[in-house]
Structure 1
Amino acid sequence: MATGWAGDGAVQDQIDATIKDAIQRARSQLPTGPGLTHCEECDKEIPEARRKAVPGVRLCIRCQEAHDEEQGNFSGYNRRGSKDSQLR
């Protein structure tokens, strides 16, 4: 199906690139190295079970939830924005 200047498969390429970017961003945020015994935000002790379950853990559960909520508000790139503007 011809889509103007875009080549065949361009939409799928955009989707693939968006997924690839999201995977790279998620992997870059994974903790590395030895885990901490105390939260780096609030200095509360991190339970041993959490340290074993999450290698490289740096935050207690409460601080991790707050961090995840902040990250959830970040949507990353909106690749559709440029396409939508071209259709108008």
Structure 2
Amino acid sequence: MADVIDFANDLVQERMDQALAARNANKTATAAHSFMFCESCDTPIPLGRRVAIPGCTQCVTCQSIDEARKARHAR
């Protein structure tokens, strides 16, 4: 037999599910904007790269160096 605590728990779970669904729906609606200039070397990031990789912050050269550095430290 369900009691008041079970109903309260179900209500809380339902509200949490709704909040998470709303949050996830909002995430896809906001797109990341790419930087116009590389954050590392201040060279312009080409339009093609900014369109292909939304949210990019580095030029190809600096991104490659950063990825190589992270791969070396991951070992």
Equivalent position amino acid for 2:56 in 1: V
CA offset at residue 74 of structure 1? 2.2
The runs of 4+ residues in structure 1 deviating greater than 6 Å are none
Equivalent position amino acid for 1:39 in 2: C
1:58 has 2:25 as partner: no
Larger radius of gyration: 2
Q: Cα deviation per residue 1:11-46 (whole Å; 9 max; x = unaligned)?
A: xxxxxxxxxxxxxxxxxxxxx831101000110000
1:40 has 2:46 as partner: no
| TM superposition score normalised by structure 2 | 0.55
Size of the aligned set, in residue pairs, is 45
Q: Cα deviation per residue 1:25-74 (whole Å; 9 max; x = unaligned)?
A: xxxxxxx8311010001100000000011110000011001100101112
Q: What 5-or-longer segments of structure 2 have no aligned partner?
A: 1-30
Distance 1:74 1:50 in 2: 26
Q: What 5-or-longer segments of structure 1 have no aligned partner?
A: 1-31, 77-88
Q: RMSD between aligned alpha carbons?
A: 1.6
| TM superposition score normalised by structure 1 | 0.47
